[in-house]
Amino acid sequence: MRRKEKRLLQLAGLLIAALLFLPNVGLWSLYRDRVFDNSPDPVEGLPPLQGLNQMRKVVQVGLDGVRRTDWHDYEAIRRDAARIGNGEQGKPFPLTEIDRVDQAYRENGFNIYISDRISLNRSLPDIRHENCKHKLYAEKLPNTSVIIPFHNEGWSSLLRTVHSVLNRSPPQLIAEVILVDDFSDKEHLKVALEEYMMRMPKVRILRTKKREGLIRTRLLGAASAKGEVITFLDSHCEANVNWLPPLMDRIAQNRKTIVCPMIDVIDHDNFGYDTQAGDAMRGAFDWEMYYKRIPIPSEMQRDDPSEPFESPVMAGGLFAVDRKWFWELGGYDTGLEIWGGEQYEISFKVWMCGGRMEDIPCSRVGHIYRKYVPYKVPGGISLAKNLKRVAEVWMDEYAEYVYQRRPEYRHLSAGDMTVQKELRNRLNCKSFKWFMSEVAWDLPKHYPPVEPPAAAWGEIRNVGSGMCMEIKHFVSGSPIRLESCVKGRGEVGWSHGQVLTLGWREDIRVGDPMHTRKVCFDAVSHSSPVTLYDCHGMKGNQLWRYRKI
């Protein structure tokens, strides 16, 4: 009996081993089929899962010993691909004349009527470069506190921002979402918002006790943050597919890197989602301190356009930074008032004080560019003071180029800058000349500190008719007409609407060389009418060449 029992036990052991360890039979096969082969039907344009889902991911170990994985949430991607309805897939909402009434824009600077009729969880087009869909990022990434400041933001636009962040971010990378209310007075942003966010445990709301402005509101959120990284977003954004891992991966490689997503455009009228003109470009500025975008120079272009690239200046509202590094840099200058100039301060500071800044093509976030600012800023316009402060602390002798174009800044009080100058000395920061020669070396090609003289200026006269080009209204979209030449009728000077400048950029601007407007002659094609459009300095539709006949 004992020998039979022993044989039975041996047979049972062999059977159990076969069931457990043979790769294509038994309980393991049943378990594997039920757990791992749960792929939904393929969606057009998306590859089969091939085992890549939330339960099993590709992991590769690089030569540096870092384990890298695919962070895509393929189940969420498939759900989004199946969505239909108004605004889904980022398509423009079909507008009627009733939808365009002024009241729709008055409180937010964008069409809130349309926003309210689009799902809070709407789907977006995946417009990343194809290479982004196959990239692996470190398996171990820092988590982040997402900070979203707001003042009297629309209900649907604010909630859509939060929903998109939570829907399209790996949960383990979101430490918290902090909504910072800058003293809003709209009822929907009080108790109703508190109650709504109770269903989202990772979201908390901070409120200022008085109107502080964008800069100090961001600082309040940053001071309260618990995540390893701070990610700032505006309150009318939509995060796109797999937006967060590419940002966190660059910071994981170098904690002194500030990273910015590619900022796509959400139309303020119909909420259509699209790239910015030119898509991937470097952030820059002109010497009046207007933010500009310039092409990536050929020397910096890579074989893979989906790779991160250096950018001298950020656009401002959307970026991620290691929390400890942010405070080592002094955070934002607390002497900056309300809004404006802070993107230059943080950009100059990180580059000059031992860090770097990159734009990340595989991270995309849509942003509504308002039709206009819908509220008044308390305490008057602070932009001039802020720009003077940034110029004095960080720009060294290059500040003179700003004052030449903004002479009113010379005698403007920018407040006590002692703390900021001491910070710069303590961090052993480099000079602005170093910044211009090593980081923004291509900027002077587009925006030279000393502009070359204009090629010509005066009137443009049709020799056949004797008529002159004239502009009645100096705003984008205005037509250009032929009128009687004022100077030719015995007048000493030209009519101000007939004074035009052919500049060194080969564009035609309204005004004489010392007083040109920011609008240029623009033509979509050789046969289309010429109109005024905001000057972009990129030639193309605004390229005009003069040849003597």
> Is residue 24 domain-shared with residue 44, that is, in the same domain?
yes
Residue 481, in any domain of the structure: yes
> Is residue 164 domain-shared with residue 45, that is, in the same domain?
no
> Is residue 296 domain-shared with residue 388, that is, in the same domain?
no
Q: Which of 286, 268, 387, 407 is nearest to 339 (CA)?
A: 387
Residue 128, in any domain of the structure: yes
Number of domains within the chain: 4
Computed over its alpha carbons, how large is the radius of gyration of the chain? 29
pLDDT of residue 28: 31
DSSP string, 257-301: EEEEEEEEEE-TTT--EEPPTTSS-EEEE-TT--EEEEPPPGGG-
Evaluate whether 20 touches 12 at the Cβ level (below 8 Å).
Answer: no
Burial label, 539 (beta-carbon count in 10 A; 0-12, 13-18, 19+):
exposed
pLDDT of residue 54: 46
Evaluate whether 141 touches 174 at the Cβ level (below 8 Å).
Answer: no
Confidence (pTM): 0.82
> Is residue 389 domain-shared with residue 336, that is, in the same domain?
no
Tokens of 308: 């991160």
Those residues whose C-beta lies under 8 Å from the C-beta of residue 127, and which sit 6 or more positions away, are 240, 264, 274, 275, 364
**CA 229 – CA 324 distance, rounded (Å):** 8
354 is in which domain, residue-wise? 80-132+143-368
pLDDT of residue 220: 97
> Is residue 433 domain-shared with residue 475, that is, in the same domain?
no
Evaluate whether 390 touches 285 at the Cβ level (below 8 Å).
Answer: no
Give the count of beta carbons closer than 10 Å to the beta carbon of residue 168. Answer: 20
* CATH number of residue 530's parent domain: 2.80.10.50
* CATH number of residue 420's parent domain: 1.10.8.460
- Phi and psi at residue 244, to the nearest 5°: -85, -45
Element (H, E) at 389: helix 383-394
Q: Any idea how long the chain is?
A: 549
Residue 8, in any domain of the structure: no
Beta strand 356-368 pairing with 309-310: antiparallel
> Is residue 238 domain-shared with residue 194, that is, in the same domain?
yes
* CATH number of residue 162's parent domain: 3.90.550.10
Evaluate whether 176 touches 226 at the Cβ level (below 8 Å).
Answer: yes
> Is residue 157 domain-shared with residue 202, that is, in the same domain?
yes
> Is the sign of the CA dihedral 145, 202, 237, 140 positive or negative?
positive
**CA 242 – CA 156 distance, rounded (Å):** 22
- 3-state SS track over 60-102: EECCCCCEEECCCCHHHHHHHHCCCCCCHHHCCCCCCHHHHCC
> Is residue 424 domain-shared with residue 352, that is, in the same domain?
no
Give the count of beta carbons closer than 10 Å to the beta carbon of residue 404. Answer: 15
> Is residue 65 domain-shared with residue 160, that is, in the same domain?
no
**CA 126 – CA 241 distance, rounded (Å):** 7
Residue 30, in any domain of the structure: yes
Residue 5, in any domain of the structure: no
What Cα–Cα distance (Å) separates residue 343 from each residue in 181, 270, 544?
21, 28, 33
Scan for tokens 């000393």, then name that residue: 450
3-class SS shares of the chain: helix, strand, coil, % to 5 = 35, 20, 50
Q: Which of 285, 547, 323 is nearest to 432 (CA)?
A: 285
What Cα–Cα distance (Å) separates residue 162 from each residue in 11, 169, 238, 317, 408?
59, 11, 8, 16, 41
Tokens of 435: 């910044």
What Cα–Cα distance (Å) separates residue 220 from each residue in 182, 207, 209, 267, 492?
10, 9, 11, 30, 59
What is the mean pLDDT of each successive set of 10 residues along the chain, which is 549 residues long?
53 50 33 29 40 57 88 97 97 79 70 94 97 97 98 96 98 98 95 97 97 93 98 98 99 98 95 88 95 94 95 94 98 88 96 98 94 60 89 97 93 93 97 98 94 89 89 83 74 69 90 83 84 85 84
**CA 298 – CA 512 distance, rounded (Å):** 34
**CA 297 – CA 41 distance, rounded (Å):** 43
**CA 176 – CA 121 distance, rounded (Å):** 19
Burial label, 543 (beta-carbon count in 10 A; 0-12, 13-18, 19+):
middle
Evaluate whether 366 touches 238 at the Cβ level (below 8 Å).
Answer: yes
Those residues whose C-beta lies under 8 Å from the C-beta of residue 488, and which sit 6 or more positions away, are 461, 466, 468
Residue 11, in any domain of the structure: no
**CA 514 – CA 517 distance, rounded (Å):** 10
Q: Which of 520, 480, 515, 523 is nearest to 498 (CA)?
A: 480
* Amino acid at site 68: R
Phi-psi region of 328 (alpha: psi -120 to 50; beta: other; left: phi over 0): alpha
> Is the sign of the CA dihedral 262, 267, 272, 277 positive or negative?
negative
> Is residue 439 domain-shared with residue 529, that is, in the same domain?
no
> Is residue 349 domain-shared with residue 442, that is, in the same domain?
no
Residue 47, in any domain of the structure: yes
**CA 534 – CA 526 distance, rounded (Å):** 19
Those residues whose C-beta lies under 8 Å from the C-beta of residue 110, and which sit 6 or more positions away, are 154, 157, 236, 268, 269, 368, 370, 371
Residue 75, in any domain of the structure: no
> Is residue 230 domain-shared with residue 325, that is, in the same domain?
yes
Evaluate whether 284 touches 292 at the Cβ level (below 8 Å).
Answer: yes
